Structure 1
Amino acid sequence: MYIELSEPYIIGGQITSRSQDIFVIRESGEYASLLKYEDYTSATVRKLEWCYSESDYHFFFGAGGQLRPMNITGPVLSKVIPWNLETAQYPESVHRDEIKPGYMLDLRVLQMSRFNPPRWFEHSPQERRDTPIRQIKSLLPEYLPDISYLPLIASNQLCDPVEENLYIASYVNPLKVRDCNQFYPYHIHYISTKELDSFEQLDLKNGQVIDLNGLNQTIDRLKNALIQTPDSDEIKTQLNQERQVLAAQSLARFYRNAGVQAGALNPEDVLGQVSQNQVKHAQVMRADRATVCMVANLMSFL
């Protein structure tokens, strides 16, 4: 399936919500599903858990008077097992039979940290800080803000395979700055296997024998060609196709084949070689090389 990857990652020196798009490598290892930010956060998606303020919250995974089961606390990617669902607190809008075991993908653990120093043309964006939630007094004594350990019979379920249903935990304001000592608004949404199948799919067999350094050079040549003929649909199409190959093989080689479970890249770090001439042309910068930002590899559990 053709995936259009031309929307910008960066506007005015700020990364956009597109940096929160997720490639999910499926258990078969043949394809990766692309979940755009709105695909897992919009009002139409089933929401299981949230904490938006001191008075607006629902803790789905609260069990035994404690808020966090140990098996889904800490990892970026973990299993949601039958025991988690048997002890869960279902919101009124969600029917128990709709929710099945699957994988928890906790995007709060991933960071869009910079790994490379800024380029000569970058400007420091204005810092935007998230607003923390203070102590929720109404929780006590109903809940303890602590971790619950699974009984032995439930721990054994962690060895069993689960379907490709996703529980995606994310901050409400993912692009804002947070202090690791504070607690911030978040929510958890549920994506079923059927819904995951309906999203755009990237073929990981595409470009298996291509040298990626040579592909980078090809992309640079296409960028320069687009500057000369900005209305060329042929160049735009070829550029998008080459970028899809780069995305597919970045996922296949550096995540699937290497057994890497999850990761994130700041799009500012993977723009490639950018000339002064290219910086002046917005349409070329829109066609940047940052085709992989957030990744979850379900094949890593097999």
Structure 2
Amino acid sequence: MSNYPYEFNEESIQDVFIMRPNGKIAYLPYSFYSDPSRVIESVEVNGDAQRFFLNEDGSYPFNLAGPAVTKVIDWNLQTENGEPKVHPKQSDIRPQAGYFLDLRRMSIDRLSMIFIGEEPNYPADQAVTDLPRSDSGYQLVPEAFQHQLKETPEQDHLYLAFFNHPNKTRSINQFYSYSVAYITADELTQWEYSAELLGKLADGHEGLEPNVDFTTKHLETYYGETGVQATALSPMDTKGSAFPSQCLLACYIANIRTFKG
């Protein structure tokens, strides 16, 4: 874990809290889930694509298109020939059914009107222009497999989609480079939010460890107990607020406990 130093910087804005069905909370730093070894799908600006869910004709499974949080079913993990898809970077891992978290559908835009930000605007992202297009756009789940949409995954393996340049700005009428990382349930356990984990991430930088108890209680009160499924909070909106300075609140939050068991 020492390979992912904990810092208060723009990268940490992209960190993710996962509220798990087992009652625990996982904390995933951007540097962890964006590691190339975990990426199973990606599309670059020049159109180069490593495909997993994305089909050759440019179509995408409809059950994964739209929701910020949804389920990955067994049908999504089969090739056209009915063979199981394999992890392109780790041949010993066969991706399993789980949950799909799409950070591209969540905004870290500022909402607070308490103060005016003085920081300059972020640069614009470059749109992808060279990629095969599909006449239909989306691939519907065949009727024979639609019963899987009602089923709850046995384990909370996670597929996490994110823009390759998350801190750049984008237009709603363009398509931008992105990646999808696969994170196993065991890895979520290894990254359980705790003082021990944050101590390792701080790597000796005193004063950087947030108040774990306060942050955990805050997450449970405002997102767990209320059943909120997904949200995002800009750190600029907590500046000068009543939150303790050692409270880690700024990032993305997904509550996959909300799916029926």
TM-score class, shorter-chain normalisation, is 0.7 to 0.9
**Offset, 1:144:** 4.5
The answer on whether the counterparts of 1:263 and 1:295 sit within 8 Å (CA) in structure 2 is yes
Amino acid at match of 1:99: P
Structure 1 residues 68-96: Cα deviation after superposition (integer angstroms, max 9, x where no partner): 11111000111000000013765654548
Partner of 1:62: helix, strand, or coil?
Answer: coil
**Offset, 1:272:** 3.6
Match of 1:147 among 135, 138, 144: 138
| Change over 3 Å in CA distance of 1:97–1:123 after alignment to 2 | closer
Aligned to 1:27: 21
Aligned to 2:223: 255
Give distance in 2, aligned partners of 1:155 and 1:96: 29
What count of residue pairs does the alignment treat as equivalent?
A: 240
The answer on whether the counterparts of 1:48 and 1:188 sit within 8 Å (CA) in structure 2 is yes
Match of 1:115 among 111, 114, 127: 111
The answer on whether the counterparts of 1:66 and 1:145 sit within 8 Å (CA) in structure 2 is no
Q: Please state if 1:300 is matched with 2:235.
A: no
Aligned to 2:202: none
The answer on whether the counterparts of 1:166 and 1:190 sit within 8 Å (CA) in structure 2 is yes
Give distance in 2, aligned partners of 1:257 and 1:101: 26
Amino acid at match of 2:223: Y
Partner of 2:227: helix, strand, or coil?
Answer: coil
**Could you list the runs of 5+ residues in structure 2 that have no partner in the other structure?**
196-205
The answer on whether the counterparts of 1:64 and 1:148 sit within 8 Å (CA) in structure 2 is no
| Identical-residue share of aligned pairs (%) | 28
The answer on whether the counterparts of 2:158 and 2:185 sit within 8 Å (CA) in structure 1 is yes
The answer on whether the counterparts of 1:59 and 1:67 sit within 8 Å (CA) in structure 2 is no
Structure 1 residues 122-154: Cα deviation after superposition (integer angstroms, max 9, x where no partner): 413243111111142xx26xx546111111222
Aligned to 1:39: 32
Aligned to 1:277: none
CA RMSD of aligned residues (A): 2.8
Structure 1 residues 226-263: Cα deviation after superposition (integer angstroms, max 9, x where no partner): xxxxxxx7xx49xx56x323311221011111111111
Superposition TM-score, scaled by structure 1 size:
0.71
Give distance in 2, aligned partners of 1:198 and 1:180: 36
Runs of at least 4 residues of structure 1 off by over 6 A?
Answer: none
| Change over 3 Å in CA distance of 1:249–1:86 after alignment to 2 | same
Partner of 2:147: helix, strand, or coil?
Answer: helix
**Offset, 1:61:** 1.2
| Change over 3 Å in CA distance of 1:92–1:193 after alignment to 2 | closer
Give distance in 2, aligned partners of 1:7 and 1:94: 28
Q: Please state if 1:56 is matched with 2:14.
A: no
Name the structure where helix makes up a greater proportion of residues: 1
Give distance in 2, aligned partners of 1:65 and 1:19: 34
Partner of 2:70: helix, strand, or coil?
Answer: strand
Structure 1 residues 198-243: Cα deviation after superposition (integer angstroms, max 9, x where no partner): 114249xxxxxxxxxxxxxxxxxxxxxxxxxxxxx7xx49xx56x3
Aligned to 1:161: 152
Partner of 2:189: helix, strand, or coil?
Answer: helix
Give distance in 1, aligned partners of 2:89 and 2:216: 37
